[in-house]
Amino acid sequence: MKVLVVGSGGREHALIKKLRESKAAPQLYCAPGNGGIACDAVCAPVKATDITGMVEYCKQEAIDFVVVAPDDPLAMGMVDALEAAGIPAFGPTGRAAAIEGSKVFAKGLMKKYGIPTAQYETFSQEQEAMAYIRQRGEYPVVIKADGLALGKGVIIAQNEQEAAAALDSIMKDKIFGDSGNQVVVEEFLTGPEVSVLAFTDSKTILPMVSSMDHKRVGEGNTGPNTGGMGCIAPNPHYTKEMADLCMERIFLPTMRAMNEEGRPFKGCLYFGLMLTPKGPYVIEYNCRFGDPEAQAVLPLLDGDLLEIMQAIREERLDQVPVGWKPGASACVILASGGYPVQYEKGKKISGLDAGGQCPGAVVYHAGTQQREDGFYTAGGRVLGVSATAGSLPEALEKAYAAVEDIHFEGMHFRRDIGKY
């Protein structure tokens, strides 16, 4: 069986490594993949957003099953296009992916179905948004671009000046392009953040082990937001009682709401939650596995990922075994100097073997290129070093011990993953 994963980051590498354990022993492909993924799968030179090219490639290579991992191709309807061409694909349709692709849609859904989320208003005119913020007069205030913005479309403004500057950059200067045609202005919430990824076929929803991303670049959760600098699983703040509450108030209602709206969601639904003093609130939905959440959560999956994905597509998730290993997992991201602002690529990486790995941990490649003499950096986030163990402190120790062996010019990482 030939299985292709669409995408090129650490998340895709984690998906590939897990799919490789499947008892169907699939032949693995990745499009476009990266230097490290090439050690585990055939990398195809097709861009993740090239829908026509992807359908053509899959037909040409007789691919049996496609896993569409990133948000852009999902929002663009890649799953719809593959299925229309007779190629079975895992992931939500374009209409269901709107739960991430449009914050205005996601907020409207939560309001309509009573799913707890921050109070908000939406605006397509900058002056009206600013008038609302002034009249409200409460800071900080959260301003979000409607569409996809590489995880950077959220600005927390501490005062009126910052709010005005944020609206200018999103709505006038269009720093996120058309994603900024509309904005959501919402209440600032506080509390620990939890990521919960869930398998769902629109009839059954099975949350995975919870996790905690570390979005800020600096230690102590300081500095600008990144794609994620590390992750632990399970999330220590997420108790069994909280999980039950989230199932009743958030997970099931969301699955049912999408069905009611004629947008049944099949795939991995990501709940970005905040555990506020008033209970769990949804900060955001994503229509896919998180990155770096996948690199911490998937190693703990006790189940056949390919079988689970096929069952989801065929709406029989209730019939496959999905279990979780005891213990904990940690992933530390190694980033290029200057990331997330400006960084150079093409630095030689030392400490990896020919397969892109190092002892004591699993190395997921996010932005690497393979040359004759080894691996080179090719992105902002370069590697994710993951380890599992009986407890979180042991998992962190193993991951950080492996990090000691790896080096490239300008490399930086957070030493406080899992400390919060």
Residues that bind ligand GLY in the complex, under the rule CB under 6 A = 151, 213, 228, 286, 290-291, 293
From 69, 104, 189, 311, residue interacting with ligand AMP (rule: CB under 6 A): 189
From 50, 80, 100, 186, residue interacting with ligand AMP (rule: CB under 6 A): 186
Of 225, 221, 195, residue with least CA distance to 209: 195
d(CA 348, CA 30): 23
Q: Which stretch binds ligand AMP (CB under 6 A): 181-189, 204-212, 239-247, 412-420?
A: 181-189
Q: Which residue is nearest to ligand GLY (CB)?
A: 290
3-state secondary structure 21-49: CCCCCCEEEEEECCCCHHHCCEECCCCCC
d(CA 207, CA 200): 8
* In contact, 392 and 399? CB cutoff 8 Å: no
Side chain identity, residue 272? G
- x/- map, 121-150, ligand AMP, by CB under 6 A: ---------------------x--------
Residue 7 Cβ, how far from ligand GLY at the closest point, in Å? Answer: 12
- The token pair at 227 is 């794609």
Residues 6+ apart with CB under 8 A from 285: 99, 100, 106, 254, 269, 270, 271, 272
Residue 215 Cβ, how far from ligand AMP at the closest point, in Å? Answer: 5
d(CA 62, CA 3): 10
* In contact, 166 and 176? CB cutoff 8 Å: no
Looking at the Cβ atoms of 138 and 372, the one nearer to ligand AMP is: 138
Within 13 Å, how many C-alpha atoms sit on residue 399's CB side? Answer: 33
- x/- map, 272-291, ligand AMP, by CB under 6 A: x----------xx-------
Phi, psi of 392 (to 5 degrees): -65, -45
CB atoms inside a 10 Å sphere around CB 215:
15
215 sits near ligand AMP (criterion: CB under 6 A): yes
118 sits near ligand AMP (criterion: CB under 6 A): yes
Side chain identity, residue 420? Y
Looking at the Cβ atoms of 153 and 253, the one nearer to ligand GLY is: 153
Looking at the Cβ atoms of 10 and 26, the one nearer to ligand GLY is: 10
Looking at the Cβ atoms of 167 and 332, the one nearer to ligand GLY is: 332
Looking at the Cβ atoms of 228 and 234, the one nearer to ligand GLY is: 228
Side chain identity, residue 230? G
Residue 227 Cβ, how far from ligand GLY at the closest point, in Å? Answer: 7
Binding site for ligand AMP (CB under 6 A): 118, 142, 151, 154, 186-189, 193, 215, 272, 283-284
